[in-house]
Amino acid sequence: MSETQPPGGAGTRPALFSRLATAVVYAVTGRAPAWFGPNEPIAPQAPPGIGGRQFDFQQSTNLTTRPRQDEEITAEQLRNLANNCDVVALAIQTRKDQLAPLKYQFQMKDKEARGAPDTRLDMLNEFFKKPDREHGWNQWIGALIDDLLVIDAATVFPRQTMGGAPYGFEFVDGGTIKRVIDDFGRTPLPPAPAYQQILKGLPAVNYTRDELLYFPRNLRTYKLYGMSPVQQVVMTVNIALRRTLHQLEYYTAGTVPDVLIGTPPTWTPEQIGDYQRYFDELLTDNTAARRRARFVPGEIAKSIIQTKETALKDDFDEWLARVVSYAFSLSPQWAVKAMNRATGETAQAMANAEGLAPLREWVKSVVDRCIESGWGWTDIEFAWWEEEETNPKEQADVAIAYLKMGVMTINEVRADIGRDPVEGGDTPLIYTPTGAVPLKQALAPPPPPPQIGHNGGPAMDQEKGPEAEQEETLLKAASVEARLTEIWAHFFRQQAPRVADAVAAAMPALIEKADGEKPADGDEPDELGQDLQDLSDLARAERAARELAQAVPPKVEKVIDEAVRAMPWPAVQASTQPVLQQAVLQGAKAGEDSLTKITGIKVKDAFRLVNPLAVASAEDQAAKLVSGVSDATRNALNRLVVTALKEGWSTQQLVDRIVADHAFSEERAMLITQTELRRAAVQGNIDQWRAGVKRGARVLKRVVLGMNENHCIACMAAVREGPIALDDSWSVGFAPPFHPGCYCNISPVTPAMKEWPK
């Protein structure tokens, strides 16, 4: 057969094969090859059944004879670093000490079954007093935590009795445990060995997953072993060790003496050596002689040079302590420059939340696994006791808050402090300025506000029905306090995020680039807003307002003013006015009773006369309230922005603080409610007494001092000034309340009365 090809034959066969291959690919995949396309992936080379392998481990990794073979640093090196670095050793010991005083218990996982007695719980409580039959609980768990924090390989060997019952859970050096993996890179199931203990460099014992309990916490998908906090900061610890050695050598070694002393230039080396030996023999081992004066030649005294520096600590030492503390989720307050109290408490709380709580959860998982491994019980769990606050004052404050909000009843609080219940103490109550209201009544939906006169309804003289029915309709005040509180609380809840975003968005550069002076150690930011609220000291309020105005940059003040003016004040004023009108009418009813009591005069049609006054009073009071609240809100925002500029807050910090500030809180809504309802009621009293004066009654008004107001400058001044005419004003105001939260009231008094009514 001839080896030559016909013309054109060399290119014909490959083209044919290419077309055939293209046709097969298209028939199988339905895709035609793209021009300069990605092409098909290379066919898998592994045999079937390899899918699901955890990571690309080294071939024959089970044949290694050293734990942590694939790690850059061994367990022994990690332990040496932890033992020789003071900061790391102290951090580990602190974590162990924090768990020592915590109390624990064993309980049923099913909450409904926890009330029934179970002897297994008592047995477990007794058993874990010495989990390994040798060491107490604190020593046992401390050893495991040490291995956890240093090498992340806490290990427990559940030793059994001859009968197969649990004898003890003994801790094992996790640095001697080598993990064994299956074909998929995972821990093999029994009866295959899952762990090997390496002793003297040789595999000594095989353990299955059931025969050895291995508890790493910080696992990684690409490694066989966990990563401990010490390993996370190994470079930092290395630097700290070398720095410590440098500081140690400062005191123990060196080629330069502490002091260089010159000698006369005419001395020969032999003379200098003789004098050196003389001086050394004079002071060696004689501490008393070192404290006495010595006479030396003049030229020597002039030529003394100190060579060693005295500063051996700088900011870098603080940085090392911060890094190590952060790795162990500890507060760095112990190792850094002094913080103010608020910052220190925040750092401590954050450290507990971020470090101690996860560590407690890890301990729980260890003990739960021991219970399941030793006894096979899955319905019992280990649990930490939640410690209650032991400070009596704080307990009392919490109880009062729960009582006022209706969370607890009087008898529940009495039971907590070991007192007997009282009759009627099982009803939850809401405490308002006018007294206690049952929680059920406070939560009931309020009736719609009355429509009276030019408020939208017919005038009273056009309504039908007897006057008694009209009064009942007008004075029906179901949860007036709750209604007004909810109006303002809802208003603040809606406006706080919008105002915060508007203020923060308008000045990110001012906030994030601020380099203001931080507060002095132990100081807190000035609470200028609180000073403005405390009107009992007018001089202090004026000073605070001046200081605040001077501290706010003009650009910031403009942004805040625009944000406050954009709030829907007309809407909240319209919602507030009918509630205040109802309160004025309630005050008028009370004023009628007090007027009749001291004068014996019952004014005919007094309610008809007071109604239009109530409308006008409510309108005026609502307008003044909105004006005052807007000014106070502006001052509060000024205070927050000034603090943000001083302390260098981020934009998000400013937003969060504005939303959480007292200016937009429910507590402020309650304060507004208490103050304004009292003001409306007092106005109703005065309106009713004015109607009595028109009918011939002789009435003056006096201040009745409220509870806890005996130290208030404004309130005491009004009391000392005595009774005045209804249309006159005391030096501190027309009528109480004289300041936010004022509990003072007024009472009618006739000029002829020798004693004021109680």
Give the tens place of pLDDT for each residue, 648-700: 777 777 778 888 888 888 888 888 888 888 888 888 888 878 877 777 778 88
Residue 445: the pLDDT is: 54
Mean pLDDT of 19-36: 67
User: Does residue 402 lie within any of the structural domains?
Assistant: yes
User: Does residue 294 lie within any of the structural domains?
Assistant: no
Mean pLDDT of 215-241: 90
Among residues 637, 669, 701, the one where a domain terminates is 669
User: Does residue 263 lie within any of the structural domains?
Assistant: no
Same domain, 90 and 221: yes
User: Does residue 565 lie within any of the structural domains?
Assistant: yes
Residue 226: the pLDDT is: 92
Same domain, 412 and 554: no
* pLDDT over threshold 70, residue 486: yes
Same domain, 216 and 156: yes
| E runs forming strands in 138-252 | 154-160, 166-172, 177-179, 195-199, 202-207, 213-215
Query: How many other CB atoms are there within 10 angstroms of residue 739's CB atom?
Result: 22
User: Does residue 613 lie within any of the structural domains?
Assistant: yes
Closest C-alpha among 468, 684, 674 to residue 591:
684
Residue 10 CB partners (closer than 8 Å, separation 6+): none
- Are 97 and 91 in contact by the 8 Å Cβ rule? The answer is no
Same domain, 406 and 474: no
Per-residue pLDDT tens digits for 337-374: 655 544 555 555 555 556 688 899 999 999 999 999 99
Helix axes 666-694, 480-505, angle to 10 degrees: 130
Mean pLDDT of 411-424: 79
- Domain span at residue 572 reads 462-669
Residue 464's pLDDT band, with cuts at 50, 70 and 90, is: very low
Same domain, 571 and 476: yes
Residue 522: the pLDDT is: 37
93-97, 285-289, 425-429: the lowest-pLDDT one: 285-289
Closest C-alpha among 288, 221, 258 to residue 54:
221
Domain count along the chain: 3
Mean pLDDT of 622-632: 81
Mean pLDDT of 530-536: 41
d(CA 373, CA 404): 49
Same domain, 150 and 172: yes
- Rounded to the nearest integer, the mean pLDDT of the chain is 76
Among residues 619, 643, 669, the one where a domain terminates is 669
Residue 161 CB partners (closer than 8 Å, separation 6+): 167
Query: Residue type for 639, please?
Result: R
Per-residue pLDDT tens digits for 29-48: 666 667 787 877 888 888 88
Same domain, 436 and 488: no
* pLDDT over threshold 80, residue 160: yes
Same domain, 444 and 520: no
Mean pLDDT of 430-452: 59
User: Does residue 56 lie within any of the structural domains?
Assistant: no
Among residues 384, 417, 450, the one where a domain terminates is 450
d(CA 385, CA 4): 95
Same domain, 475 and 605: yes
Helix axes 569-599, 606-647, angle to 10 degrees: 130
Same domain, 512 and 483: yes
Residue 714 CB partners (closer than 8 Å, separation 6+): 535, 536, 538, 732, 733, 738, 739
Q: What is the dihedral of CA 77, 82, 87, 92, to 10 degrees?
A: 150
Residue 757's pLDDT band, with cuts at 50, 70 and 90, is: very low
Mean pLDDT of 426-454: 60
- By CB atoms closer than 10 A (0-12, 13-18, 19+), residue 557 is middle
Same domain, 570 and 540: yes
Closest C-alpha among 620, 610, 658, 664 to residue 638:
658
User: Does residue 83 lie within any of the structural domains?
Assistant: yes
Residue whose structure tokens are 């890179």:
185
Per-residue CA distances from 111 to 99, 342, 376, 513, 753 (Å): 25, 38, 20, 53, 68
Residue 142: the pLDDT is: 93
**Between residues 593 and 611, the one the model is more confident about:** 593
**Between residues 167 and 9, the one the model is more confident about:** 167
Residue 355: the pLDDT is: 67
d(CA 557, CA 549): 9
Computed from CA positions of residues 423, 425, 431, 436, in that sequence, does the dihedral angle turn out positive or negative? negative
d(CA 475, CA 437): 17
Q: What is the dihedral of CA 196, 198, 203, 204, to 10 degrees?
A: -90
Helix or strand holding residue 304 (H, E): strand 304-306
d(CA 499, CA 492): 10
Q: Is the pTM of this model over 0.75?
A: no
Same domain, 423 and 512: no
* pLDDT over threshold 60, residue 391: no
Residue 214: the pLDDT is: 95
User: Does residue 588 lie within any of the structural domains?
Assistant: yes
Please name every residue paired with 704 in a beta bridge, in sequence order, or none if there are none: 745
Residue 309's pLDDT band, with cuts at 50, 70 and 90, is: low
Helix or strand holding residue 242 (H, E): helix 234-252
Per-residue pLDDT tens digits for 64-108: 888 988 888 899 999 998 898 888 998 899 889 888 888 999 999
Question: Sheet harboring 724-725: ordered strands across?
Answer: 724-725, 700-704, 745-749
